[in-house]
Amino acid sequence: MMTEVFLNGKYIGETNDPQKLVKEIRDKRRLGLISDQINVGYHDYANEIKIVTDSGRVRRPLIVVENGKPKLTQEIMDKLRKGETTWEDLLKTGVLEYLDSEEEENTLIALRPENITTETTHLELDPSVILGLSASFIPYAEFDRGDRVNYGAKMVGQSIGLFATNFLIRADTKSNVMLYPQQPLVQTHAHKVLNYDKHPNGSNVIIAMGCWEGFNMEDAVVINASSLQRGLLWSYMYRSYEAEEKRYLGGQQDIIGIPQAGVRGYAGEDAYKHLPEDGIIHPETVVNSDDVLIGRTSPLRFLGTMDQFISGVENIRETSVRLRHGDSGVADRVFLTETTDGTKLIKVLIRDLKVPEIGDKLASRHGQKGIIGLIVPQEDMPFTEDGIVPDIIFNPHGIPSRMTMGQMLEIIAGKVAALSGKTIYSPAFNPTPEKEIRDALKRYGFEDDGREVMYDGRTGKKFTAQIFIGSTFYQKLDHLVSNKIHARSRGPVTLLTRQPTEGRSKEGGLRLGEMEKDCLIAHGASLVLKERFDSDKTVVPICSECGLVAINDHIKNKQYCPIDGETKIINVEMSAAFKLMLDELKSMLIYPRVIIKED
Partner 1 sequence: MSEESQINYSSEGELPEKIAEEVEKVAREKRLNKEEKEKLKHAVWNSYLESKFEPGEVIGIIAAQSISEPATQMTMRTYHFAGTAGLRITYGLPRLIEIFDAKHEPETPMMTIYLKKQFNTAEYATKFAENLIEKKILNIVKKISINLNENSVELELQDKKKTPTIVKTLKENFKEFNTHTKGDKIVVVAKGEVQVKDLQKLKEKILNVSVGEIKNIVNAVVHKEGEDWIVTTDGSNLEKVLQLEEVDERRTVTNDIHETAAILGIEAARSIIIKEALKTMQEQGLDIDIRHVMLVADIMTFRGDVRPIGRYGVAGAKTSILARAAFEETIKHLVRASIRKEVDNFKGIFENVMIGQVIPSGTGMFDLIAKFEEEKK
Q: Contact between 574 and partner 1 (CB under 8 A)?
A: yes
Inter-CA distances, 528 with 74, 498, 512, Å: 80, 20, 12
Q: Which is nearer to partner 1, 33 or 585 (CB)?
A: 585
Say which residues have a Cβ less than 8 Å from residue 22's Cβ, sequence separation at least 6. 40, 42, 49, 106
The values of phi and psi at residue 528, to 5°, are: -65, -45
Q: How far is the CB of 491 from partner 1 (least distance, A)?
A: 19
Q: Does 596 bind partner 1 (CB under 8 A)?
A: no
DSSP assignment string, 22-33: HHHHHHHHHTTS
By CB under 8 A, name the one of 334, 374, 529, 570 that touches partner 1. Answer: 529
Taking CA 550 as the corner, what is the angle to CA 545 and CA 554, rounded to the nearest 5 degrees?
Answer: 140
The site that binds partner 1 (CB under 8 A) totals a number of residues, namely 26
Strand 286-287 relative to strand 329-338, pairing: antiparallel
Given the complex with partner 1, which of 12 and 521 has the nearer CB atom?
Answer: 521
Nearer Cβ to partner 1 (314/516): 516
Interface segment toward partner 1; rule CB under 8 A; list 349-357, 445-453, 563-571, 582-590:
582-590
Would you count residue 403 as binding partner 1 (CB under 8 A)? Answer: no
Query: Is there binding between residue 167 and partner 1 (CB under 8 A)?
Result: no
Q: Is 306 an interacting residue with respect to partner 1 (CB under 8 A)?
A: no
Residues whose CB is less than 8 angstroms from the CB of residue 525 and which lie 6 or more positions away in sequence, other chains included: none
Stretch that binds partner 1, among 234-242, 255-263, 376-384, 532-540 (CB under 8 A): 532-540
Cβ atoms of 202 and 475 within 8 Å: the answer is yes
Task: Kindly state the smallest distance separating residue 77's Cβ from partner 1, in Å.
Answer: 53
Among 118, 573, 587, 598, binds partner 1 (CB under 8 A): 573
Q: Check residue 273 for interaction with partner 1 (CB under 8 A).
A: no
The residues carrying an active-site annotation are: 347, 479
CB of 512 to partner 1, least distance (A): 11
The answer to whether residue 456 forms part of the interface with partner 1 (CB under 8 A) is no
Quick one: which of 24, 517, 562, 583 contacts partner 1 (CB under 8 A)?
Answer: 517
Member of 522, 554, 555, 587 binding partner 1 (CB under 8 A): 522
Minimum gap (Å) between residue 383 Cβ and partner 1: 45
From the CB of 253, what's the least distance to partner 1, in Å?
A: 47
Q: Are 297 and 254 in contact (CB under 8 A)?
A: yes
Which of the ranges 178-186, 189-197, 485-493, 575-583 carries the binding residues for partner 1, by CB under 8 A? 575-583
DSSP state of 313: G
* 590: contact with partner 1 by CB under 8 A: yes
488 burial class (0-12, 13-18, 19+ CB within 10 angstroms)? Answer: middle
- Nearest Cα residue to 437 out of 197, 148, 139, 209: 139
Q: Is the dihedral of CA 11, 12, 16, 20 positive or negative?
A: negative
- Residue choice 108, 168, 353, 525 for contact with partner 1 (CB under 8 A): 525
Please, what is the minimum distance in Å from the beta carbon of residue 548 to partner 1?
14
527 binds partner 1 (CB under 8 A): yes
| Residue 289 interacts with partner 1 (CB under 8 A): yes or no | no
Strands of 108-228 (E only): list them.
109-110, 122-123, 174-178, 186-187, 203-209, 221-224
Distance CA 197, CA 178 (A): 13
Is residue 533 at the binding interface for partner 1, with CB under 8 A as the rule? Answer: yes
Q: How far is the CB of 494 from partner 1 (least distance, A)?
A: 16
By beta-carbon proximity to partner 1, the closer residue of 230 and 523 is 523
Strand 60-66 and strand 569-575: the pairing is unpaired
Burial of 178 (0-12, 13-18, 19+ CB in 10 A): buried
Tell me the C-alpha distance between 41 and 139, whole Å: 35
- Angle at the Cα of 470 from the Cα atoms of 469 and 473, rounded to 5 degrees: 130
Crossing angle of helices 405-420/434-443, nearest 10°? 40
Stretch of 80-88, 149-157, 407-415, 568-576 contacting partner 1, by CB under 8 A:
568-576
User: Counting contacts by CB under 8 A, is residue 130 touching partner 1?
Assistant: no
Q: Is residue 588 near partner 1 by the rule CB under 8 A?
A: yes
Kind of pairing between the strands at 369-376 and 361-363: antiparallel
- Is 534 near partner 1 (CB under 8 A)? yes
Considering only the stretches 247-255, 334-342, 348-356, 567-575, report the one whose residues sit in contact with partner 1 under the rule CB under 8 A: 567-575
Q: Residue numbers of the site for partner 1 (CB under 8 A)?
A: 517-519, 521-527, 529-530, 533-534, 536-537, 573-575, 577-578, 585, 588, 590-591, 595
